[in-house]
Structure 1
Amino acid sequence: MVPIYENIADPQDTYNNQLFGLMKITEAINENASITDLFEIYKNSIERYYEPGSVTLCVNTIRGMKVLSSDPTKTWSDYASAFKKFSEKKSKFFRSSNGEIFIPVYHKKELISLVHLEQINVQDSTRFNFLKTITNFVAIAMENKRLFKLRIEQENYKTQLELARQIQHSLMPQYFSDTRELEFKTLYIPHSEIGGDYFDFFHIENSNISIFCIADVAGKGIPAALLMANLQASLRRLSINYSDLTTLLKGLNKAVYESTKGDRLVTLFIGAYDVIKNELQYINAGHPYPILQTRAQGSCYLKKGTTPIGINETLPEISVGREIIKDETVIFSYTDGLEELRNNKGQMMGYHNILSTLHKLPFGNIEMITENMKEFIEKFKENEPIGDDITVLLCKIKPEGIVK
């Protein structure tokens, strides 16, 4: 706590009062005093030298506007209109006939503080110039404190953002252990902010089942990254005792709901492939429809499933999709960042463009499909920035009997 004004100078000694007021404010700034302490010293200087009815200062802080006043009844609502008026007109000050003065303080043409003095009598220019000087001095000091705190918060945010990126990167499989029957390729184009896209693939030990999944956690930043970590850990944990997809999805929904209490949702497509039965089972939980392609039968959407997970404690009816894989099959799944991609004209990619582009690409070569899709994305969006993460997961299934 910085010591408040001490009574060591004669109120009639103009020079000493001015010098003493500036000295106390300078000391407070050097001691990194709070804006409340700075205001107290400023208020006492003004009261000692000018004897106003009240002293009020409206200042911009990193938490928004704050009103400091010798009159405890003053609130921001009393000054919002005046602050807006001075912001727009860029006036130097306002003085009324009844002894009321408003002194705005600007920094780089932006209003940062507004001082209101009631029942104050300032006749000569020297006294008025000092009033403006000390007001500017205090207001700029407070603005510097705000900018410093803002920079610290931004640095902390960058650190947290980098941590979130590391979390996200560590959760994304860096390579896939392709099997004789299953081959995977991915395309990931990150947004400038950390998103909640997630994909995974693993084989369940001592079974014929391989699980693959693509998901999109609502939101961005650290909360999305942490929820994605929770989702990945839950999926791996619940899959240890895998019995069926419905039970697995119910467990995932419970884990997400307990973590977020319904405040966030996750769209998800999860598939389970039985290499002995050549059967694909899947559930689409509110996710963009993956496209299943075969050379002989063309394309179809994988729609069956339920609502996104994490909204409610229990899921409504779950419909499990089943596909018998008779020949070489490619499943093209993606997150909504691809559908919602826009170009310079504001046109959205949409699923029709995705499907038509996929049909033009050579069937079965998922590495080439991935590269061509990346080129198509860059060409489509032109120089428009992406609005969300874009994740594509390609799965190629080569059933027993045609494995080469």
Structure 2
Amino acid sequence: MFSDLTILDTGLDRFAQIKIQLIGIIVIGLFSFISSYIILSLFNKVYPLRVSPMQEELGLNIAEHNAVSIEHDLISILDKQSESGDLKVRGPQDPFTAGGVIGLYYNKLMSKLETSEEERSKWRERISKEVKLAVKVQENFLPKRNLKNYPVHGINIAAREVSGDFFSFYPHNDSIYFIIADVAGKGIHAGMVMAKASTLFEVLSQSKLDPDEMAFHMNNDLNQTKTSGMFVTSIVGEYNLITDEIRWVNAGHQPAVLRDENGKYSQFESSAPPLGVIKQKEKSIYIINRIKLNGSRFYAFTDGLSESLDDKGEEIGIDGSIEIIEENFNTDTSEQLDKITKKIMDTSQSQNLSDDLTLISIGK
């Protein structure tokens, strides 16, 4: 830059020579910087040239040389517990360091949570056993009788372990008493009310009372002992094999359905409030329906059928219930009821009933 220009023999004056050399220096500098940046960036991807922000916060002794720190160990323990959910995981504790004190209280908290979870598990197991026992007791409330000589069939599928629906048949010589009922609510509470209602039916059937008298006595007894808000919708009746006549009362229940021998359906609506709602002074509030079957078939069901869902997720209603009954009509009534319940289960979106499902049929 400051040499003799005649020696360089460039033909340029000193200012032009300095300008050219400065440009060269700048170009070489840029080339070196860019090349170095690219090379170091590629190298950094393979082998990081600096520690992470978290490691920098912990310090080089821990990040680079695996030195021990209570705070670091505690953070690792917390991460492990968070990922695994294991309540048995414990952290380091030391009453003379901040991290150790935090670990001490963390361990106490985990111990309490672990004990609490063990207690909950014990209670869940106990409740499960109690529910299974309740199911067995409920099954024993409904006697299994030989009804081969009677054209009656029924089926009950509980939505939960304990059903709030029930049906029962009580044969007596040439007659058979029947009931189908739906207790308001679900679960064990509804099951207890159901047990009482079924017991009342058994006792009253032995006295050979008319359907209106049976409903009257069941209503007043349930009203005296029921829990607030609990009631029972029910159809109670009697079928006479000799006269082929069926008599029944409908207390707040779904309509009874009659299919005649020509495949025509008739509905018989409720004429009285559900059992247990209010104490009644006269049995006349329960109006007796009478009809001779003469080849017809009588059906009664709970809202577990009418409120079941179709393929579109909509309730089928009474009309939809009749359609399913007709679609699965069979000379074998027991087989028909099995087909109906299978149809409901198959079309149920979750394959689980949202409500107890009970059906009965009477007639040849």
TM-score range, shorter chain: 0.5 to 0.7
* SS in structure 2 of the partner of residue 291 of structure 1: strand
Q: Which runs of 5+ in 1 are unaligned?
A: 1-91, 93-103, 113-123, 398-404
CA contact (8 A) 1:217 1:265 kept: yes
* Aligned match of 1:318: 285
Contact 1:262 1:310 in 2 (8 A): no
Q: Is the 8 A contact 1:330 1:364 kept in 2?
A: no
- 2:347 is the alignment partner of 1:380: yes
Q: Secondary structure at the match of 1:280?
A: strand
Quote how far apart the aligned CAs of 1:155 are: 0.8
- For the pair 1:352 / 2:319, whether they are aligned, the reply is yes
C-alpha spacing 1:301/1:217, structure 2 compared with 1 (3 Å): same
Take 2:165 and 2:305, find their aligned partners in 1: how far apart are those partners? 12
* 1:250 aligns to 2:216 (yes or no): yes
Deviations 1:309-346 (CA, angstroms, capped at 9, x unpaired): 12223378624232331512211211111122225642
Q: CA deviation at 1:301?
A: 1.3
Paired residue secondary structure (1:346)? coil
Partner residue, 1:260: 226
More strand by share: 1
Q: Quote the offset at 1:154 in angstroms.
A: 0.5
Secondary structure of 2:128's partner? helix
Letter in 2 for 1:387: S
Which residue is 2:108 aligned to? 138
Q: Please list the CA deviations of residues 16-63 of structure 1 after superposition, one character each: whole Å capped at 9, or x if unmatched.
A: xxxxxxxxxxxxxxxxxxxxxxxxxxxxxxxxxxxxxxxxxxxxxxxx
Give the direction of change, closer, same or farther, for the CA distance of 1:261–1:158 in structure 2 (3 Å limit).
closer
Match of 1:78 in 2: none
1:389 aligns with 2:359: no
**CA deviation after TM superposition for structure 1 residue 300, in Å:** 0.9
TM-score (ref. length: structure 2): 0.67
Tell me what 1:168 maps to.
Answer: 138
**CA offsets per residue over residues 128-172 of structure 1, 9 Å max, x none?**
223312211221111112111111110111011101211222234
Does residue 366 in structure 1 map to residue 336 in structure 2? no
Does the CA-based 8 Å contact 1:193-1:220 persist in structure 2? no
User: Aligned-residue CA RMSD in angstroms?
Assistant: 3.1
Aligned length: 279
Match of 1:270 in 2: 236
1:128 aligned onto 2:112:
no
Indicate the SS of the match to 2:285: coil
What's 1:305 paired with? 271
Return closer, same or farther for 1:350/1:173 CA change in 2, 3 Å cut-off: farther
Structure 2: distance between partners of 1:307 and 1:107? 58
Mark the runs of 5 or more structure 2 residues left unpaired by the alignment: 1-70, 72-77, 88-93
1:279 aligns with 245
C-alpha distance in 1, partners of 2:154/2:239?
18
The answer for the alignment partner of 1:194 in structure 2 is 162
Q: Is residue 132–residue 161 contact of structure 2 (8 Å, CA) maintained in 1? A: no
Which of 153, 160, 176 is the matching residue for 1:185? 153
2:305 counterpart residue number: 338
Relative to structure 1, is the Cα distance of residues 261 and 169 closer, same or farther in structure 2, using a 3 angstrom cutoff? closer
Give 1:95-244 correspondences, 5 Å limit.
108=82, 126-179=96-149, 182-204=150-172, 208-244=174-210
Q: Which has the larger radius of gyration?
A: 2
Counterpart CA distance in 1 for 2:219 and 2:314 is 34
Report the CA distance between 1:282 and its aligned residue: 0.8
For residue 193 of structure 1, report the CA deviation from its aligned partner: 3.4
Report 1:10-159 matches (<5 A).
108=82, 126-159=96-129
1:359 maps to amino acid: E
SS at match of 1:224: helix
Report what 1:120 is aligned to.
none
Q: Is the 8 A contact 1:302 1:321 kept in 2?
A: no
